[in-house]
Amino acid sequence: MNNTVRNLSEIKEKLKAVSSGSLPQIIAVGKTFPASSILPLLESGHRLFAENKVQEARAKWPELKKYYPAAVLHLIGPLQTNKVRDAMQLFDVIESLDRERLAREIAKERDKSGNCPELLIQVNTGEEPQKSGISPREVDAFILLCKKQFNLPVKGLMCIPPAAQEPAPHFALLKKIADRNKLETLSMGMSKDFEMAASLGATHVRIGGAIFGER
């Protein structure tokens, strides 16, 4: 069996061991890895992937999607407003919606094209100044704005906890914000903490290194 395929199935087993309800879906994060590294997973039947850069996704995914049209691609990196149109053509889900200007631009493109990816709002749970994401203090109002003013398909939340902290309180906070806003999708947990995220209610875990190896 191919290494990445074996790694993925081991992660699935670990998730089964910690999840009481339904298993979180595994998003394979292929950033920095070439299409040739992603192909074995597609061939094995895996369909859920993510990239963090629009340009890199454009270089790899149109070709892959030609052969695997059922593949689902998430954007998990910051999105500049001038790349919105490209992103909306390439991605099925955008996980990094985090400011009004971006919401406005996505709504504008949706009105032009008639299509919109599903959206997750990125929350900067650690309130780190250098990190993308909306502050937990502003998130409730922002969710309302996206839904009511722009009529955007906001399905849930995403977070990246501060690297130097225990992730559990951040996952718990994201879950609390999702619950009080009646949002179902919770994208949280990466290679080092996906089991913790799963035990705290993640519906999606985003895993790069533990599948593809060191970047």
User: Does 170 interact with ligand PLP (rule: CB under 6 A)?
Assistant: no
DSSP state of 83: G
Which range in 99-107, 108-116, 168-176, 205-213 contacts ligand PLP by CB under 6 A? 205-213
Q: Is the CB of residue 73 less than 8 Å from the CB of residue 86?
A: no
User: Does 206 interact with ligand PLP (rule: CB under 6 A)?
Assistant: yes
DSSP state of 146: I
Site for ligand PLP in 36-65 (CB under 6 A): 52
Of these, 54, 94, 190, 197, which contacts ligand PLP (CB under 6 A)? 190
Report the residue number, 110 or 197, with the smaller CB distance to ligand PLP.
197
User: Does 207 interact with ligand PLP (rule: CB under 6 A)?
Assistant: yes
Position with the least CB separation from ligand PLP: 208
CB of 147 to ligand PLP, least distance (A): 23
Report the residue number, 50 or 143, with the smaller CB distance to ligand PLP.
50
Return contacts of 180-186, CB within 8 angstroms, 24+ apart: 180/140, 181/139, 181/140, 181/143, 183/143, 183/154, 183/155, 183/156, 183/157, 184/155, 184/156, 185/118, 185/120, 185/155, 185/156, 185/157, 186/156, 186/157, 186/158
Report the residue number, 93 or 207, with the smaller CB distance to ligand PLP.
207
Of these, 28, 29, 120, 139, which contacts ligand PLP (CB under 6 A)? 29
Beta bridge partners of 186: 157
Task: Tell me how far the alpha carbon of residue 112 is from its chain's centroid.
Answer: 25
Phi, psi (deg, nearest 5) at residue 195: -70, -40
Q: Taking the C-alpha atoms of 146, 83, 39 and 62 in order, what is their torsion angle to the nearest 10 degrees? A: 110
User: Does 209 interact with ligand PLP (rule: CB under 6 A)?
Assistant: yes
Site for ligand PLP in 76-135 (CB under 6 A): 76-77
CB of 108 to ligand PLP, least distance (A): 25
Which range in 14-22, 36-44, 98-106, 207-215 contacts ligand PLP by CB under 6 A? 207-215
State the Cα–Cα distance between residues 173 and 175, nearest whole angstrom. Answer: 5
Task: Tell me how far the alpha carbon of residue 87 is from its chain's centroid.
Answer: 13
Interaction site with ligand PLP (CB under 6 A): 29, 31, 52, 76-77, 160, 190-191, 206-210
